[in-house]
A and B are shown apart, each in its own frame.
Chain A
């Protein structure tokens, strides 16, 4: 199998969703192919960096936004009652 064919398998491997029948083949290939190993490591790092970045960015809902939403919800409750 050419290297290109392994790329999507690497993605599934990272998700632990790779079919058993491909697993041994991919692991053997990774142990022999520097390019695919570099692709695997950099793909993994891309995901980790992105995940950590967005988790760091998580914030509380600003009070004014939340108050505004509840205000509109209460208008809707009243409309439904009518």
Chain B
């Protein structure tokens, strides 16, 4: 197939690029890669926590996408389809590294429920609750990293990337109620970690 110049491709709409790329117009495929690579690289950084794994994930995702593209039916947005490939690749990497995918390792998950019957301080207006606070930033990252792989992925897709429950349910082949429950449990876990920091100070929150 005749290849179009990079400048001309940059003006084309996504649907047009997909059709061309399906017919193995590689320049069109590369324009799709250029438009989406930052999303996938940043997803890799969030899910895997380091630049090397994020770079591997990026490459594997677009290689898989190249092979799978002829079967792409456009039932979801192209970027959602890419996220699906990327998250599956991320799960494989997590398995290899023996990162727990669904099991909370040492956390007492009923701590929030116990607290409800006692006293829950409202730290939402605490003067330390802002992102100029380096300790808090470190704690957020450490706490998200402590979530089991699948919970972390669902939390990031839902609360950070803004995908809907339905989209995530299709992306990960999970029921909507399973997605909702994992979003909730992840939030409970993170809120609990931040609460410990605001209750007891930085040392206790981060050293756990």
Interface of A toward B, CB cutoff 8 Å:
3-4, 7-8, 11-12, 15, 17, 34-39, 41-47, 49-62, 65-66, 68-70, 72-74, 76-77, 80
What's the tally of chain B residues with a CB closer than 8 Å to chain A?
51
Q: Are A41 and B122 interface neighbours, CB within 8 A?
A: yes
Q: Are A56 and B120 interface neighbours, CB within 8 A?
A: no
Q: Are A53 and B141 interface neighbours, CB within 8 A?
A: yes
Kindly identify which residue among A7, A45, A53 contacts B112, using a CB–CB cutoff of 8 Å.
Answer: A7
A50 touching B190 in the complex, CB below 8 Å, given contacts A41-B124, A73-B30: yes
A69 touching B131 in the complex, CB below 8 Å, given contacts A7-B112, A42-B124: no
Task: Report B-chain residues with C-beta under 8 Å of the C-beta of A11.
Answer: 180, 183-184, 187
Q: Are A42 and B183 interface neighbours, CB within 8 A?
A: no
Q: Are B129 and A45 interface neighbours, CB within 8 A?
A: yes
A52 to B162 CA separation, bound complex (whole angstroms): 12
Q: Residue of A at shortest CB range from B180?
A: A12
Task: Report B-chain residues with C-beta under 8 Å of the C-beta of A53.
Answer: 131, 137, 140-141
Q: Are A61 and B38 interface neighbours, CB within 8 A?
A: yes
Q: Does B28 have its Cβ within 8 Å of any Cβ on chain A?
A: no
Kindly identify which residue among B116, B144, B156 contacts A39, using a CB–CB cutoff of 8 Å.
Answer: B116
Q: Are A38 and B121 interface neighbours, CB within 8 A?
A: yes
Count A/B pairs, Cβ under 8 Å.
Answer: 130
Kindly identify which residue among A17, A38, A57 contacts B122, using a CB–CB cutoff of 8 Å.
Answer: A38
Task: Report A-chain residues with C-beta under 8 Å of the C-beta of B26.
Answer: 73-74, 77
Interface of B toward A, CB cutoff 8 Å:
24, 26, 29-30, 33, 37-38, 41-42, 45-46, 51, 55, 58-59, 62-63, 66, 112-113, 116-124, 129, 131, 136-137, 140-141, 144, 155-156, 159-160, 165, 180-181, 183-184, 187-188, 190-191, 194-195
Q: Residue of A at shortest CB range from B158?
A: A15
A-B contact pairs, 11 of them (CB 8 A): A42-B122, A45-B123, A47-B159, A49-B131, A50-B190, A51-B159, A59-B41, A69-B58, A76-B63, A77-B24, A77-B26
Task: Name the residue in A37, A47, A49, A55 with the highest tally of chain B Cβ atoms < 10 Å from its Cβ.
Answer: A49
A42 touching B30 in the complex, CB below 8 Å, given contacts A11-B184, A69-B62: no
Task: Report A-chain residues with C-beta under 8 Å of the C-beta of B45.
Answer: 57, 59
A11 to B112 CA separation, bound complex (whole angstroms): 13
A43 to B58 CA separation, bound complex (whole angstroms): 32
Q: Are A46 and B191 interface neighbours, CB within 8 A?
A: yes
